[in-house]
Structure 1
Amino acid sequence: MYGHLLATGRTRIAHVTGPEHHQAARDRARHVIEQLQCASRELSTGRAHFGEWREAWGRRAAEAVLRTAPDTDAFFCGNDQIARGVADALRERGVSVPSDLAVVGYDNWDTMALACRPPLTSIDMNLAEIGRIAALRLLRAIDSEREPGVHTVPWRLVVRESS
């Protein structure tokens, strides 16, 4: 994802995500920061912005980020709802997405991603496959075939018009 934004010339990336007490929000923020550091970059405002998993938070956060770091050229958001709120706030300001600012979401929730204007680039976590594997492992565990540890499923970036 970060490679995609950097490859499109974005260098001042803001991260807006969900509540800090949610592990997913903290993990996503940590990954963004680590990946940007690997590319000798940092977040445009110097920190991740934690809030609610809602469009309204995305709108408020976009305004706050652009007041603090008006040279921000991309938003990576912790979910598609936040990203849609960011895109709405940018459109209301007359900012062109993606010409002026790119926006990327997380979850690839079609209801949000495709209804966004412009349609939202988003990380697809392959949730259906995660659910399928979890159900199979649960059934095996019930039959005393435990498979402890962390198991991962590949994700993919779905590129649409917002980036």
Structure 2
Amino acid sequence: MNARKVRSYEVMRRLAHVRESQASLELAAAIRVEDAAAKDAAEAEALRVAAADARYRCLHVPGGMPMGEYALLTTLCDSLHEREAAANGALQEAAERRLAKAEHAAMAGRFVDRVEDELTVSRQAFASVREGRSLADSLDLWVNAREGD
């Protein structure tokens, strides 16, 4: 092991941390998008339910059914149903993107862990080699000092 390999792993670790941070930021953004989509879907559902309830009440009005209001509410219900379907589709897409970003962030985290493990092994091997050289140099100095006596 040499210092160059240890240095390479240190640089790789820094790059891996940057990628991990970027993946975490992308995941956070995807979560915000999904939350907004969930809010839109819930709002669309609430509006559709309110319009459907109003349409149902038109059917049970004493003294006759207001046909104009019923037709308007039916059209509104259909429109809100389409809006709800679109909002649910957007929510599904946002959830899929969030899952993909979460997997990417997890992979980036695992890569950081592997690089850090390799860096630790490389540092230990380099320290062992350096210690061995130091010990050999010390023995040479001791032998040379003994021969000089």
State TM-score, norm by structure 1. 0.27
TM-score (norm. length: structure 2): 0.29
Structure 1 or 2: more strand by fraction: 1
Q: Radius of gyration: which is bigger? A: 2
**Higher RCO (C-alpha under 8 Å, 6+ residues apart):** 2
